[in-house]
Amino acid sequence: MKVGVCIKRVPGTDSRITIADPASGPALGDVSWEVNPYDSFAIEAALQLQEAGTASDVVVFTVCGADGDAKIRDALAMGKKGKSGASKAVRLDDAAFAGSDALGIARILAAAVKKEGVDIVFAGKQAIDGDSSQVPAMMAEVLGWPSVCEVTDLEVSASGVKAWRQAGGGKREVVELPTPCVVTADKGLNTPRYPTLPGIMMAKRKPIEVLDAAAIGVDPSTVGSAASSVTFTNWSPPAARPPGRILEGETDAVVTELITLLRDEAKVL
């Protein structure tokens, strides 16, 4: 079984996001990039399947320019020497892809996944930049494959996938689906490993295939800014909160004052 993993590079969780211009959005020149944290759970899931002998090969997919290669190498560096690790990455890069909305990105990834011929595609449940959480499920729909999103437990066999997902109200749904399929990872699915030094050395020699629209058979008019129907404008930092109040005094008096304020002033109790 061949497994694909879709990744994206994003500003790290510790990054401050400043708005350069309300029309164009955040200034990302100074942020430190990392592989989207949820994608790390997806990579780990794929590597565990490889180590269990269920998956024979792992391929990483991403849509970005050459400036994303360093983070692709981070993903390729995960694994155990001689046992696991992605064999290559496929970087989807074409001027026609620029300005794609989520559906455009989904079409690009779907075409690449189809060309490569994989049985399961893993992805993070969302990328922590746009936080849209749309691309993997859209990709599944474009492929006509079943999907299960936000998975916290997983069993994979030759016959298919059994996955557990949060269903609201603290419930967990158990979902069974055949391959080929798309699975998105939530925190809790596993604990992603850190790359080892041999892994990092090996990753330097792994191929990054760069494919354009023609190579994956995508009609350029269905992707990129021309096909995008979603526009982000009027960017702003979060609204400043009105200054708060520090309650001072003996603990007994302070907690009574707090309850009173929450009930009578803030009216939240």
Partner 1 sequence: MGSGILVVCEHENGAPKKTAYELLSKARELSSTLGGGISAVVVGTGDAADLGEYGATTVYTADGADFASGSTGARVSALAAAIEAAQPAVVIGSACAQTRESFPRLAARIGAGMASDCTDLKVDGGAVIARRPMYAGKAFAEVAISSSVALYTVRPNSFPGAAPSGGSAAVSPLQVTVSGADMAAKVVGIEEPKSEIVDLTEANRIVSGGRPVDSSDNFDSLIRPLGIALGATVGASRAAVDAGYAPHNEQVGQTGKVVNPSLYVACAISGAIQHLAGMRTSRVIVAINKNPEAPIFQHATYGIVGDIFEVVPKLTEEAKKQGIGA
Q: Scanning residues 64 to 123, which ones bind partner 1 (CB under 8 A)? A: 101-103, 106
Contacting partner 1 within 247-266 (CB under 8 A): 247-248, 251-252, 254-256, 258-259, 261-263, 266
For position 220 contacting partner 1 by CB under 8 A, the verdict is no
Least Cβ distance, residue 239 to partner 1 (angstroms) = 8
Q: Which stretch binds partner 1 (CB under 8 A): 49-57, 69-77, 114-122, 144-152?
A: 144-152
Contacting partner 1 within 222-241 (CB under 8 A): 228-239, 241
Are 59 and 47 contacting, i.e. CB atoms less than 8 angstroms apart?
A: no
In terms of CB distance, is 205 or 245 closer to partner 1? 245
For position 204 contacting partner 1 by CB under 8 A, the verdict is no
Q: Give the residue, chosen from 48, 54, 87, 152, that forms a contact with partner 1 under the rule CB under 8 A.
A: 152
Least Cβ distance, residue 204 to partner 1 (angstroms) = 28
Length of the chain: 269
Q: Give the residue, chosen from 3, 4, 6, 38, that forms a contact with partner 1 under the rule CB under 8 A.
A: 38
DSSP 132: -
Distances (CA, A) of 12 to 45, 231, 259: 21, 24, 37
Q: Give the residue, chosen from 99, 130, 198, 220, that forms a contact with partner 1 under the rule CB under 8 A.
A: 130
Contacting partner 1 within 164-203 (CB under 8 A): 164-178, 181, 186-188
For position 14 contacting partner 1 by CB under 8 A, the verdict is yes
Pairwise CA distance, residues 220 & 228, whole Å: 12
- 264 Cβ partners below 8 Å, 6+ apart? none
Q: Give the residue, chosen from 137, 154, 156, 211, that forms a contact with partner 1 under the rule CB under 8 A.
A: 137
The first and second tokens of residue 206, run together, are 């792994």
Give first-to-last CA distance, the chain, whole Å: 54
Beta carbons within 10 angstroms of residue 237's beta carbon = 10
For 33-65, b/e burial (b = at least 16 CB within 10 A) is: bbbbbbbbbbbbbbbbbbeeebbebbbbbbbbe
Q: Give the residue, chosen from 1, 19, 210, 215, that forms a contact with partner 1 under the rule CB under 8 A.
A: 19
